[in-house]
Amino acid sequence: MNPSTPSRRTISQRWKRWRQSHWFPYILFITLLMVGGIWQAYQYWWGVQIQRWLADGAGSANRIAVFPASWKTTIGTRYLEPFEPITHVRLFGGRLSEMKFPDGTSRKIVRAVPTSPSDLRMLKWLPYLSNLQIYSELEPDSWEVLADLQQLKSLSIHRTRDSILHFSEKMNRLSELSLEINEWTSLSELKSIAQIPHLRKLRLGVEGDRLPQKNTEGRPFLGEQLQGLAASRSLTIIEASIPDDSVLLALTDRLPNGNFPLIKVSELRLSGSNISNAGLTNLHHVPNLVHLDLSQTNVDDGGLESIKSIPTLRTLYLAGCYGITDRATEVLADMAGLESLNVAGTRLTQAGLLKLGTLKRLRSLRCDVKVTPELQQCFPPNCKIGRR
């Protein structure tokens, strides 16, 4: 090499020299503008595809409102909606088709079809999708695609005929899960759901109609399944429709290792369950229970004795429990920690409610009786008393 020949600059030196050029801000601005324009055009095209697919009977979606309503009125909703991010999707598994009649007329109808893997792959391109609800049957290959939707935080599956739930162990970001189980759902599949690290809320649709009334194996096994689910150390809210007392007793009973499955559960919603007083006997094994919903159950005055000893209980819903009478106030009056009480649809009278004046921490009371000045003065000044 000739000594007079200048040495070649490195990439770092060239970048430093180019960055110091007075053209650099303009070139950078134009480059970012082009990249942003291409990205927005792609997002618009994909938003139109999703919009057409859902409008074809597949389902519906909720979007984040980005543009003012005045803009949508002036420019048009159909032109601006594809730019708005989709956060919630409901899939009904429909396809819009045309039915022709012998007289030559035709009508567009929506036919029910299973949700396919290609349908779910379309959702992978929605970066803001956090809530997915599926009301249709899933094709077997769809479960693996569903597990790839890592952006999901809430998943609701209302029909699990194939009972393939092992996909859930891959959904590390999932915090809410809603599904239906029955006695044919395998125990290993449900235990995998308990391994979801951030699962906080679980809604269980227990298909009690499919469980034989005199089956001596199905119901205990179902209780064992629920124990495996409830053993999750991150789960704090369980909402389930329990088919009978035996399942609830198994859910709150001691595990083989000596522990109790609902050790961290703070909210237990059993509204509409077919349970009675016998099913509540183990609820004192839920030491951190704060919210208990027993609405529309067969619980009566005697059942409240089982939950009287839960010191952390703050909210109690007994709406629609017709077996609750004024005799229950003797137990309710001893629950000094109650802050919210719902006794609408029960047989509690005004005379019985007046006995609850000892609940000094009560902030909300729902009942059927007329709110008189005498009843209002019986409770703390900041307690809201209302009829359903």
pLDDT in tens, 266-281: 999 989 888 888 888 8
Q: Could you read off the pLDDT of 348-385 as tens digits, one per residue?
A: 988 888 888 888 899 999 998 888 888 888 888 888 98
Q: What is the mean pLDDT of residues 202-228?
A: 58
User: Is residue 305 in a domain?
Assistant: yes
Residues β-bridged to residue 176? 154, 201
* Residue partners of 307: CB distance under 8 A and separation at least 6: 280, 283, 284, 292, 313, 316
User: Is residue 20 in a domain?
Assistant: no
What is the torsional sign of CA 148, 153, 159, 161? positive
pLDDT band at 105 (very low <50, low <70, confident <90, very high): confident
User: Is residue 21 in a domain?
Assistant: no
pLDDT band at 228 (very low <50, low <70, confident <90, very high): low
Q: What is the mean pLDDT of residues 19-25?
A: 80
Write the CATH number for 162: 3.80.10.10
Overall domain count for the chain:
1
pLDDT band at 214 (very low <50, low <70, confident <90, very high): very low
Res 96 pLDDT > 80: no
User: Is residue 190 in a domain?
Assistant: yes
Residue-averaged pLDDT of the chain: 80
d(CA 77, CA 16): 47
User: Is residue 42 in a domain?
Assistant: no
Domain that holds residue 99: 62-68+85-210+218-357
User: Is residue 226 in a domain?
Assistant: yes
Q: What pLDDT is recorded for position 163?
A: 47
The residue assigned the tokens 């109650």 is: 338
User: Is residue 180 in a domain?
Assistant: yes
Least confident of 91-100, 116-125, 368-377: 91-100
User: Is residue 372 in a domain?
Assistant: no
Q: Could you read off the pLDDT of 179-210 as tens digits, one per residue?
A: 776 656 666 666 667 777 788 888 877 655 44
Res 340 pLDDT > 90: yes
